[in-house]
Chain A
Amino acid sequence: MSTALWLAVLASALGTLLMRMLPLLWMQRRLDRSDSDDDLDAMPQWLGILGPLMIAAVLGTSLVPTTVDATSWLATAIGVLATLAVWWRLRSLGWPIAAGVAAYGAVVTLLG
Chain B
Amino acid sequence: MSQQATRSLPRPWLAGLREAIPLLGGYVPVAISFGLIAVQAGFSTWEALAISTLVYAGASQFLFVGMIAAGSPLWLVVVMTLLINVRHVVYAPNIAPWLTASRAWPWLMHGLTDQVFALAHTRLPQLPASQRLGWFTGAALLAWFSWIGGTALGAVAGEELTRRWPLLGEIMPFALPALFLVLLAPRFTDRRWSVALGSSIAIALLLTVNGLSNAAIPLGAACGALCFYLVKLDSTTRGR
**Using a CB–CB distance below 8 Å, which chain A residues touch chain B?**
1, 4-5, 7-13, 15-17, 19-28, 31, 39-40, 42-43, 46-68, 72, 75-76, 79-80, 83-84, 87, 91-94, 96-97, 100-101, 104-105, 108-109, 112
Contact = CB atoms under 8 A, between A and B. Distances in A.
B206 to A, nearest CB: 8
Contact of A54 (B4, B25, B90): B90
Interface stretch (B6-14, B130-138, B149-157, B193-201): B193-201
Contact of B121 (A4, A9, A55, A72): A55
Contacts of A17: 109-110
B177 to A, nearest CB: 4
A60 B205 contact: yes
B93 A24 contact: yes
Contact of B208 (A61, A94, A100, A108): A61
User: B interface, by DSSP: helix, strand, loop or mixed?
Assistant: helix
A93 B184 CA distance: 11
A83 B21 CA distance: 16
Given A56-B221, A83-B181, A91-B2, A105 B94 contact: no
B118 A101 contact: no
Contacts of A87: 181-182, 185
Contacts of A11: 78
Interface in B162-204: 167, 169-185, 187, 193, 196-198, 200-204
17 contacts: A8-B64, A9-B51, A15-B82, A19-B86, A23-B90, A43-B93, A43-B96, A51-B95, A55-B121, A56-B224, A60-B203, A60-B207, A64-B205, A79-B177, A91-B4, A97-B175, A100-B181
A8 B77 contact: yes
A84 B184 CA distance: 11
A26 B209 CA distance: 35
A53 B222 CA distance: 8
Given A39-B97, A61-B204, A93-B19, A9 B55 contact: yes
A40 B97 contact: yes
B62 interface: no
Nearest to B81: A12
Nearest to B75: A8
Contacts of B88: 16, 19-20
Given A56-B221, A63-B177, A66-B169, A24 B96 contact: yes
A56 to B, nearest CB: 4
